[in-house]
Structure 1
C-alpha cells in the first residue's frame, strides 16, 4: 500500500473513543478529528459494545477504569463477538503498572497508551495501528480473491471432458482431472497416480512411439 493510498483511507477511518471522563473524551476526539478521522464518542462500556456492533469502527480507543463494565471486560466481549473480534483496541489509561499492561494485552489489546500522553504519541500510535488494519484487510481480500479463482479452476478441471494434466519440472504430476484417468482406463485419479508412480516419465515410457 502506497503512502498516498493510506492517506486517502485514513481520512475515512472510523475511530470509536470510549472514556467516562468527559474532558478526556473530548480532548482525544478533537485531536483525532483534526487529523481527518471520523470519530464517535461514548461514555461507558455498554455504549461502546452497542456502538461497535451496530457500526464497527476501524479502531477503538478504550479507557480501563469505567463503572459497570471496565475496559478489560469490554475488550473481552469485543473479542468474543465475531462482528467486532478483528477491530484493533488501544487502551488509554492512567494505570501505569506492568501488570495492568500485561492484562490489557492478554485480553486482546494491540497497544497501550499511558495518561497523560503527548499529542504526537497518540496520533502516531493510532496511525500505525490503522496502517496494520488496512494492510490486513487488503491481504484478506486478496486471499479471498485467490481462493475464489482456485475454486473456479478446480470446478472447471473437474467437469471438463478432455483429459488434462499439469507436471512439475521434476516430472511429477501436480494436477490431473478425472477425465484423464478415465481415458487411460482407470476408475479414479488415485488409481491412475498409483499405476504411474506419480511420475510423468513412467507414463511416457509406456507410450509406443
Structure 2
C-alpha cells in the first residue's frame, strides 16, 4: 500500500450540513483522510489559514458569498494560494475540462470541478484523478 494517500487533509466548504457529514464520513472511512468542514466561506478561509491542507472542496453557492469570490480570496492570500481547489457545485459554471471561464489565468489553483449530484463512493477517485494523487 502506497503512503501517498495517507495523512491527506481536505477542507470541504459547503453550506449543506448533511452533505458535509456524508462526505466526511465516507472519505475518512474509505481513504483515512482527515476531512474538515466549514459552512461559510469566511469559516473556510479562517480554517485554510490555520491548517495545513492538501485540498479545498469549494461549493459555489455559499451563504456569505459566491464560491468564485472566495476562491479569489484564497488565491490572493499568501498562506492559502498554493492549496488546490476543486469546485463542488450543482450548477455547471463552465465546461469542467476548461477553467478559462472561471477566471483561470495560468497560475490558477482550480484543480477541477465536481458536479452535484455526485456519487459519494466515486468522490475519492474523482479527487485522486483530478489531483494526480
TM-score band w.r.t. shorter chain = 0.7 to 0.9
* Separation (CA, whole Å) in 1 of partners of 2:26 and 2:9: 14
Cα distance between partner residues in 2 of 1:103 and 1:32? 29
Q: Deviations over 1:184-204 (max 9, x none)?
A: xxxxxxxxxxxxxxxxxxxxx
Residue 71 of structure 1 is matched in structure 2 by 67
- Contact 2:12–2:37, Cα closer than 8 Å, also in 1: yes
Q: CA deviation at 1:28?
A: 1.3
- 1:18 equivalent to 2:18? Answer no
Q: Which runs of 4+ in 1 moved over 3 A?
A: 99-105
In the alignment of these two chains, the number of paired residues is 126
RMSD: 2.1
More strand by share: 2
Secondary structure of the 2:61 match is coil
Q: 1:29 maps to what in 2?
A: 24
SS of aligned partner of 2:19:
helix
Give 1:21 shift: 0.8
How far 1:126 sits from its partner (Å)?
Answer: 1.6
Q: Deviations over 1:149-196 (max 9, x none)?
A: xxxxxxxxxxxxxxxxxxxxxxxxxxxxxxxxxxxxxxxxxxxxxxxx
2:44 to 41, 45, 48: 48
Distance 1:21 1:39, change over 3 A: same
Gaps of 5+ in 1: 132-209
Deviations 1:91-138 (A, max 9, x none): 11100253796544626411001101123431112223162xxxxxxx
Structure 1 or 2, whichever has the larger Rg, is 1
- Structure 2 residue runs of 5 or longer lacking an equivalent are none
Q: Matched residues in 1 for 2:57 and 2:75: separation?
A: 14
2:76 alignment counterpart: 80
- Output the CA distance in 1 between the equivalents of 2:95 and 2:126: 21
What TM-score results when the alignment is normalised by the length of structure 2? 0.83
Query: Does residue 9 of the first structure (1) align with residue 4 of the second (2)?
Result: yes
Quick one: distance in 1 between partners of 2:60 and 2:26?
20
Are the structure 2 counterparts of residues 105 and 28 from structure 1 closer, same or farther at C-alpha, using a change threshold of 3 Å? Answer: farther
TM-score, scaled to structure 1: 0.55
